[in-house]
Amino acid sequence: MEQVDIIELDIIPGFEMTKDKRQELYGQVAGGSGSMKPEKYQREIIEKITNNKCNKTKKRLNIRTNEIVEISRPNTQLDGFDYTEDFDGEQIINDIPYYYNLKSIVGQGGSQTRSLREVYHFIEQQLKYLVKNKNVCFINILDGDEAHKHMPKFINYLSCLSEYTDVKNNVYIGDLRGFVRWFYQS
């Protein structure tokens, strides 16, 4: 059994991460410090897979200038809505920046739909950035049964638009388990 298979065995597939399963694994997740538990787990597994520290960052994309900018509180400025959410992690691997977006979206509801729509726009901005700046990788770990249900919107539609054909391989969209193979194959 190769290293990829061994690592995958320890990771729950994203579609199996239901509200009940997440509660069982992490306890109370909604609000406060509990909401960081799934992200902490994802970060730990990423570090194990890449053998590289995944540092927190305040970098985000400016949708107007199409630049990655380090800014911690953009909404204190008039142009605050020109910035995406910040990336949850950053690594430099073989001189290539890897920026991480970590999510665990479970259960149905308006809040989950809004979150996934925001993630969709965030990933679209990543693809737009890559059209002009190809020496970057964006990793979008989307665990959870609800994220899994909407994955075709990201993988079969958004990343397949003709303007992103040349850059879509620099973006990973999927669950943590799938990231293992993507990382070792890229």
Report the pLDDT value the prediction gives residue 25, as an integer from 0 to 100. Answer: 83
Report the pLDDT value the prediction gives residue 77, as an integer from 0 to 100. Answer: 94
Share of the chain above pLDDT 70, in %: 91
**Average of per-residue pLDDT across 98-123:** 95
Report the pLDDT value the prediction gives residue 8, as an integer from 0 to 100. Answer: 63
In angstroms, the CA 25 to CA 20 distance is 9
Q: What string of DSSP letters covers 137-186?
A: EEEEEEESHHHHHTHHIIIIIGGGSGGGTTTGGGEEEE-HHHHHHHHHH-
Report the pLDDT value the prediction gives residue 27, as an integer from 0 to 100. Answer: 77
Q: Give the tens place of pLDDT for each residue, 14-58.
A: 999 999 888 888 876 665 555 688 899 999 999 999 999 999 999
pLDDT greater than 90 at residue 59: yes
Which range, of 11-25, 97-111, 146-160, averages the lowest pLDDT? 11-25
Q: Give the tens place of pLDDT for each residue, 104-116.
A: 999 999 999 999 9
Question: What value does the mean pLDDT of the chain take?
Answer: 91
Find, among 95, 96, 91, the residue nearest to 55 by Cα. 91
**Which sign, positive or negative, has the C-alpha torsion 120, 170, 54, 24?**
positive
Report the pLDDT value the prediction gives residue 50, as an integer from 0 to 100. Answer: 94
Share of the chain above pLDDT 90, in %: 81
pLDDT greater than 80 at residue 97: yes
In angstroms, the CA 45 to CA 49 distance is 6
Q: Are strands 67-70 and 89-93 parallel, antiparallel or unpaired?
A: unpaired
**Average of per-residue pLDDT across 51-80:** 96
Angle, to 10 degrees, between the axis of helix 37-50 and the axis of helix 176-185?
Answer: 20
Q: Structure tokens of 70?
A: 């380090």
Report the pLDDT value the prediction gives residue 1, as an integer from 0 to 100. Answer: 42
Domain boundaries, the chain: 3-185
Q: What is the pTM of this model?
A: 0.92
CA 141 to chain centre: 4
Rounded alpha-carbon distances, angstroms, from residue 159 to 26, 41, 101, 131, 174: 32, 27, 16, 12, 12
